[in-house]
Structure 1
C-alpha cells in the first residue's frame, strides 16, 4: 500500500508491502529501506536502516504529533485509497478544528481569532508526558475561535482551535 506522508511540510511517498509470510518491505520515495515497526504503548518502536527510534504518536492520521527524544514533528498520512476517494468526491481538507492529541497542559497559544494561517503554521503548544508538542495548521485557514488559554489543562481530544 502506498502512502503520502507530509512531515513538517515535506511530502514523501512511502510504499509498504507485507508478504504472505508476514515480512515487511518499505520503500521511501522509490528507494528500498531497511525498516521494521512495532507498536508500543503510546506509539511505535521504529527500526530504520539499523537505528532504533521510540516514537510517541498522538492525534489523527491527518494531523499526527510525533515525538522521538528531543525531536518533535507534525505529520499527516494519507493512503492512496483515501486520496482517490477524496479526489472522487472533489474534496480538499475538511478539517475545521484542531483537537488535543492527548491530555496535557497548554503552554503557548500562538494564534488569535481572526488570524489567517498558512499550512504548517504553529497554532498551539501542548505539554504532554513531559514533552512539548507544537500543533500546526494542515491547510491555509482563518481562525474562527481559540478555545483554550495558556496554562489550561485539557483532556485528550479537547477542542483547541476552530477554523472558518
Structure 2
C-alpha cells in the first residue's frame, strides 16, 4: 500500500509498504527498498529496518500523527492512496498539526519555553518534559499563536495531558 507522508515544511515523501506472502515486510522510501520488522505494543512501535532497531512512540490520530524517537518529536500528515481518494471525493481539507499539544508520556515539566500570545512556527520548542531521566522537547506541530499554556515548571503530567494550545 502506498502512503504519502507530508511534513509541516511541505516536503512530501511517498512510502510503499509491501507485505510479502512469507510474512515479511518491505518498505520502499523514495525508491529505496528496505527490509522491515514491526512490533506494535500499545502506542509504542519497535521497527527493525535493515537490521537497525528504532523505537517510536506514535501519538495523535491518523492522518495527523506525531512520532517521538530518541527524545525528538516529528509531526506529519500520513495518508494512504485510498484516504486521499475519499478525501478528494468529499472535498475534504485538513491542516497539518492539531492546535492542542499534549504530553506524549507521564513525566514532570522542566521548562515552559513559550508564553500566551507568542507567535510561533512549526517545530518551535514549547515545553520540556522529563520522563525516565530523559528530557523530551515538545515541539509546535504548526505555525500559529500560543492561545493558552496549561502547565508550569515542576508540574506532574500524565500521558495525554494538555500542555499548550495553538490557534491560527
TM-score by length of 2: 0.79
Once the two structures are superposed, residues 69-88 of structure 1 have per-residue CA deviations (whole angstroms, 9 ceiling, x without a partner) of xx633243512244555552
Q: Which shifted more, 75-84 or 115-124?
A: 75-84
2:100 corresponds to: 97
Distance in 2, matches of 1:66 and 1:16, equals 21
Q: Judging changes above 3 Å, is the alpha-carbon distance between structure 1 residues 121 and 11 closer, same or farther for their aligned structure 2 residues?
A: farther
1:117 corresponds to: 120
* Pairwise CA distance, 1:100: 1.0
Q: Judging changes above 3 Å, is the alpha-carbon distance between structure 1 residues 117 and 32 closer, same or farther for their aligned structure 2 residues?
A: same
1:15 corresponds to: 16
Verify the 8 A CA contact 1:3 1:79 in the aligned structure 2.
Answer: yes
Verify the 8 A CA contact 1:8 1:73 in the aligned structure 2.
Answer: no
Distance in 1, matches of 2:123 and 2:85, equals 23
Matched, 1:152 2:155: yes
Tell me the number of residue pairs that the alignment of Structure 1 and Structure 2 aligns: 161
Distance in 2, matches of 1:31 and 1:161, equals 38
SS in 2 for 1:52: strand
Distance in 1, matches of 2:100 and 2:152, equals 16
TM-score by length of 1: 0.81
RMSD: 2.6
